[in-house]
Structure 1
Amino acid sequence: MKRKNTGITLILSLFMSILLILCAGCISDNSGSLQTTDNSEQSTGYKTVVDMRGVEVTIPEDPQRVVAMSRSLIDTTMYIFGKSDKIVGASISTKPTAAGTYVYNGNDYTVNNWIGQLLYPEIKNLTNVGGFGGPYGSPNAETVAQLEPDLFILRDMGASSEDTNKFIEQLESMGIPVVVLQYPSCYDNPSIDTIYEEIALLGEVFGNEDEADQIIDTMKSRVDFISERTAGIPEDEKVDVLYFGAPTWAKERYGGAGYAFGSGTIEIAFMEDVINANNVYTDSGTNLVSAEQMLALDPDKIILCTYSGYHPPRQLYDEEMYGGIQEMTAIQSGEVYSLSSTPCKSERLELPINLMIAAKAIYPDRFEDIDLESWTREYIIELYDTDEEATDEIMDALMFEYLGIS
C-alpha cells in the first residue's frame, strides 16, 4: 500500500508540476501580450517626420486641428489633399477684404485675388494667427495656443530667423508640435526644387504622399516645358529685364520710384534659371530705387509684380506719378508687362502661371503658339480639379485682360 500511495503521489506531483509550468508559460505569454498592447496604445496615432530644419517632430497620424502659417502654400495644398476642414487658424490678410484694387479711366477693378480663399471661402472666417511678413500682422503664440492645435505648420520665410526661432520655441514649450517648411530664400541658391520638397513634406505629414507627388508632377511638367523652350540662348541674345515693384506709396513716403528685385530673391533666381534672361539689377535683395537709378539701368523689358496692390503696364505708361521714369526704353517701346493679380511673391502652387507670363513677355517668339488663357485654365483644372464655374472665378482673379500680353 505504501508503494502504491507513493506512486500515486509521484504521479500527482509530476502532473501538478507540469500544470504549473504550463500556467506559468501562459501567464508569461499573456503578460508579454499585454505589455505589447500597452506599447502599441502609446504609439498608435502618432508618427515622426523630419522637417526641413532636419528636426524630428512627433505629430498625430491624422491631425485634426491644424494651424498653417504661410502665404497660402499650405492651405492650397491641404485643399488638394481634402484636408481644408482641419485648418483652425492661418495667416489671413488683416485688410477688410483680400482684394486687388486697380482704378483706370474712372473704372474700379476690384477682385479677390487670394486663390486659397476662392477654393475654400470658409478660411476667411478662421482666426488670423499673423505671419512673418505680409499683410497678416505679427504672430502671437497665445493666439495659437487658444486654438488648441494638435499641429502647427510654419513656412519659414528666411527673413526674420531670430524672431521665427523664438516663436517656434514658445509654441514647443506649450507642447504644440511644430513642423517647419523652408522657403527657397532660406538657402544661398534659391531653387524651385525647394518648393517641391515642401509639398512632399506636407504629403508625408498628412499621409497624402500620392497626391503630393501628383502636385509636384503637375507643376514640374509646366516648369520644365518653359525651361526647355528657353534653353541654350547665347549670352549676347539674352534679354535684359528689370523685375519691378511699383507701389504708389514708394514716391509719396520715400521719394523713390519703386522696388527693384536683385540677386538672392526667388523671382530673379527663377527668371534666370528657368526663363534664361538677364537681370539688370545686380544688388542683393529687394531695394527702393530712385528714378535716376531706373533710367541708368534702362532694361529691355520690365516685369511688374503685385507689390502692395495690382500694377498693370498702363500705370507706368500713363500716370503722372511715374513721369520721372517714362523716358526708359522699355516704357517708350511698350515693353512693360505685369504678372497675374495674385498676391506678391510667386512661390505658391500658381508659380508656373507667372513663369509662363514672364516667359511669353520676355521671349514672345519662343512661345507664340501658347495661348496664355487656355494654358492656364488647363493647369488650374489639373492642379485643383475645379469645375468650370470655379475655374472661371480663379481666371477672373488673375486679371489676365490687364497684363499687356496677348
Structure 2
Amino acid sequence: MEKQNVLIIGVAACICVAIIVTLFLATAHPAGEGTPGPENTDADRWKTITDMRGVEVTVPDDPQRVVTISRSLIDTTMYIFGVEDRIVGGSIYEKPIIKGTYVWNGTDYTVNTWIGKILNPELDRLTNVGGFGGPYGPPNVETIAGLNPDLVILRDLGEQEENTGRFLNQLESAGVPVVVLKYPSCYEHPSVDTMYEEIRVLGAVFGKEDRAEEIVETIHSRVTSIHDRTQDIPPAEQKRVLYFGAPTYAKDKGGAGYAFGSGTTEVGMMEDVVHVRSAYTESGRNMISAEQLLALDPDVIILSTWSGYHPPRQLYEDTQYDTIQDLRALKEGEVYALAATPCKSERLEFPINMMIMAKAVYPDRCADVDLETWIREYIVELYDTDEATTDSIVDALMLEYLEIV
C-alpha cells in the first residue's frame, strides 16, 4: 500500500512538471536576431521581420498585445491599419495638459491634444512604459513585462544610443521580441524616405503591406507637390530660414531660444522638400543668445511648438524678446509658426508643416493653395475621418495663429 502511494505521488509530480513546462513553452516569446519560435509552436503562427537595424526578428504572425515606444507614428499607423485596439502600453503622457497652463497676452496657447488621441481616445487609458525623450520617464522593462506583450515596437530617436542598446538587450534577454524603427535623425542625412521605410516595416509586422503602400503614396504625393513647387529656385536665391524653438524658460537660461542646425530632422526636411537654406549651420540643436541670433540675421524665422504654442505675435510683442527687436525678420514681419501639436513634427502629418513652411517662405509659389482646405483633404485621405473628427484635428493645429496670408 505504501509503495502504491509513493507511485501515485510520483506520477502526479511528473504530470505537474509536464504541465508547467508545457505552459512555459506555450507562453514563451521568441526574440533576438534570427531566433526561432518555440519548437512546439506551429510555424505559421510566427514570421520573420527584418527591422531597420537590419536585424531579423521572429514575431507573432498576428500580434495581439503590442507595446509602442515613442509616440505618434506607430499608433497612428496602427489606427489606419485598424489594429489600434492591440496597443496595451506605450509612451503615454499620464497627466493630461490642463487648459490655461500657457497663456500669453490674454490668449490661451496651451497645446492640449495629440492627433493620435483624437483618433483613438483609448490611448489616454493605457499604461505608460516610458520612452527615450519627452515627459514619460525612462523605459521600464518590468512595467513592459507586466503587460505580457507579444511584441514591442521601438522607434529609436538616435539620441540615447547607449541607453537604447542596454534597454534592447534587457528586453530580448527577457524573451520579448522587439522590432526597431529608426527615426530620421538616426541617419547622417535625415530624409523622408526613411519614414516610408518605417511605415512599410509596420505593414510587414501586421500583415498590412498593401495598406502601408497606400499610406506611403498619400504622404509622398503631398511631399512631391511641395518639392516640385520650389525645386527650380537656385541655391543663391533660396531663403535663409532659422528653424527656432522659443520655450518660455530660455531667458532664464541666458539664451533667446534653440536653433536647429545640420543633422536635425527638421532642417534636413525643410532643405530637401521646401528648398531653403538653414540660417544656422552648426551641428545639432543648441541654445543661442540674442547676440548670436542677431548675427545670424535670417530672412525668415519658423517657430516650432515648444513649452506651449508660440505664435509669431510673441516674438513681435513680448518683452522677453526686447533684445532681438532689431532683427530684420521681425521688422519685416517674416516670423511664422508651424501647426500646434505637442510632439515632434515627424509624424504621419509632417507634410502639413512642410506646406505651412512653403506657403510662409515662398507665398508666390503657393498662392493657389488654400491652407485649411489642403490640410483637411490630406487628413481625410490619410485617416478616412468623418467631418467631426476632421474638425477636431484642424482645431488642434491652431491654424488661426500661423500669421500666413
**TM alignment of 1:185-204, pairs within 5 A:** 185-204=185-204
- Classify the secondary structure of the residue corresponding to 2:179: strand
Distance across 2 between alignment mates of 1:239 and 1:394: 30
In the alignment, what sits opposite 2:54? 54
Distance across 2 between alignment mates of 1:99 and 1:349: 26
In the alignment, what sits opposite 1:173? 173
Partners of 2:45 and 2:62 within 8 A in 1 = yes
- Classify the secondary structure of the residue corresponding to 1:176: coil
Deviation digits for residues 57-87 of structure 1 (CA, Å, limit 9, x no counterpart): 0100110000000131100000000001000
Distance across 1 between alignment mates of 2:250 and 2:276: 26
Which is greater in Rg? 1
Distance across 2 between alignment mates of 1:98 and 1:66: 29
**Following TM superposition, by how much is the alpha carbon of 1:257 offset from its aligned partner in structure 2, in angstroms?**
0.3
**Following TM superposition, by how much is the alpha carbon of 1:109 offset from its aligned partner in structure 2, in angstroms?**
4.1
Distance across 1 between alignment mates of 2:392 and 2:111: 10
User: Match for 1:284: what amino acid?
Assistant: S
**TM alignment of 1:241-280, pairs within 5 A:** 241-252=241-252, 254-280=253-279
**Following TM superposition, by how much is the alpha carbon of 1:99 offset from its aligned partner in structure 2, in angstroms?**
7.4
Distance across 2 between alignment mates of 1:148 and 1:180: 19
**Following TM superposition, by how much is the alpha carbon of 1:215 offset from its aligned partner in structure 2, in angstroms?**
0.5
Distance across 2 between alignment mates of 1:108 and 1:222: 31
In the alignment, what sits opposite 2:224? 224
In the alignment, what sits opposite 1:183? 183
**Following TM superposition, by how much is the alpha carbon of 1:270 offset from its aligned partner in structure 2, in angstroms?**
0.6
Distance across 2 between alignment mates of 1:151 and 1:291: 47
Tell me which moved more, 196-205 or 342-351.
342-351
RMSD of equivalent CA atoms: 1.6
In the alignment, what sits opposite 2:365? 366
**Following TM superposition, by how much is the alpha carbon of 1:149 offset from its aligned partner in structure 2, in angstroms?**
0.2
**Following TM superposition, by how much is the alpha carbon of 1:232 offset from its aligned partner in structure 2, in angstroms?**
1.5
In the alignment, what sits opposite 2:89? 89
Distance across 2 between alignment mates of 1:278 and 1:113: 32
Tell me which moved more, 300-309 or 192-201.
300-309
Identity rate of aligned residues, in percent? 65
**Following TM superposition, by how much is the alpha carbon of 1:96 offset from its aligned partner in structure 2, in angstroms?**
3.2
Partners of 2:111 and 2:342 within 8 A in 1 = no
- Classify the secondary structure of the residue corresponding to 2:250: helix
In the alignment, what sits opposite 2:15? none
**TM alignment of 1:280-291, pairs within 5 A:** 280-291=279-290
- Classify the secondary structure of the residue corresponding to 2:145: helix
In the alignment, what sits opposite 1:76? 76
- Classify the secondary structure of the residue corresponding to 1:155: strand
In the alignment, what sits opposite 1:400? 399
**TM alignment of 1:13-24, pairs within 5 A:** none
Partners of 2:155 and 2:183 within 8 A in 1 = yes
In the alignment, what sits opposite 1:313? 312
User: Match for 2:311: what amino acid?
Assistant: P
Partners of 2:258 and 2:286 within 8 A in 1 = yes
Structure 1 unaligned spans of 5+: 1-37
Deviation digits for residues 249-281 of structure 1 (CA, Å, limit 9, x no counterpart): 0111x1100000000001110111111111110
- Classify the secondary structure of the residue corresponding to 2:136: coil
**Following TM superposition, by how much is the alpha carbon of 1:103 offset from its aligned partner in structure 2, in angstroms?**
2.2
**TM alignment of 1:116-127, pairs within 5 A:** 116-127=116-127
Report runs of 4+ in structure 1 exceeding 3 Å deviation: 38-41, 98-102
Deviation digits for residues 28-84 of structure 1 (CA, Å, limit 9, x no counterpart): xxxxxxxxxx98953121111100101110100110000000131100000000001
Partners of 2:200 and 2:213 within 8 A in 1 = yes
Partners of 2:94 and 2:124 within 8 A in 1 = no
Partners of 1:245 and 1:305 within 8 A in 2 = yes
Per the alignment, do residues 121 and 98 of structure 1 end up closer, same or farther by CA in structure 2, a change over 3 Å counting? Answer: farther
In the alignment, what sits opposite 2:7? none
Distance across 2 between alignment mates of 1:49 and 1:165: 19
**TM alignment of 1:318-397, pairs within 5 A:** 318-397=317-396
Partners of 2:157 and 2:186 within 8 A in 1 = yes
Distance across 2 between alignment mates of 1:132 and 1:334: 37
TM-score by length of 2: 0.88
**Following TM superposition, by how much is the alpha carbon of 1:309 offset from its aligned partner in structure 2, in angstroms?**
1.7
In the alignment, what sits opposite 1:238? 238
Partners of 1:260 and 1:287 within 8 A in 2 = yes
Partners of 1:223 and 1:274 within 8 A in 2 = yes
Deviation digits for residues 331-384 of structure 1 (CA, Å, limit 9, x no counterpart): 111110000001242210001000000000110000011000000000000000
Deviation digits for residues 206-258 of structure 1 (CA, Å, limit 9, x no counterpart): 00111100100000000000000001111221111100000010111x11000
Whether 2:122 is the aligned partner of 1:135: answer no
In the alignment, what sits opposite 2:63? 63
Distance across 2 between alignment mates of 1:240 and 1:57: 44
- Classify the secondary structure of the residue corresponding to 1:249: coil
Deviation digits for residues 129-156 of structure 1 (CA, Å, limit 9, x no counterpart): 1110112111111111000000000000
User: Match for 2:398: what amino acid?
Assistant: M
Per the alignment, do residues 39 and 150 of structure 1 end up closer, same or farther by CA in structure 2, a change over 3 Å counting? Answer: closer
Structure 2 unaligned spans of 5+: 1-37
TM-score by length of 1: 0.88
Distance across 2 between alignment mates of 1:344 and 1:303: 16
- Classify the secondary structure of the residue corresponding to 2:42: helix
**Following TM superposition, by how much is the alpha carbon of 1:95 offset from its aligned partner in structure 2, in angstroms?**
3.8
Distance across 1 between alignment mates of 2:327 and 2:303: 15
In the alignment, what sits opposite 1:45? 45
Per the alignment, do residues 270 and 98 of structure 1 end up closer, same or farther by CA in structure 2, a change over 3 Å counting? Answer: farther
Per the alignment, do residues 78 and 141 of structure 1 end up closer, same or farther by CA in structure 2, a change over 3 Å counting? Answer: same
In the alignment, what sits opposite 2:21? none
Distance across 2 between alignment mates of 1:174 and 1:103: 46
Partners of 2:300 and 2:334 within 8 A in 1 = yes
User: Match for 1:380: what amino acid?
Assistant: I
Distance across 1 between alignment mates of 2:104 and 2:250: 19
**Following TM superposition, by how much is the alpha carbon of 1:100 offset from its aligned partner in structure 2, in angstroms?**
9.2
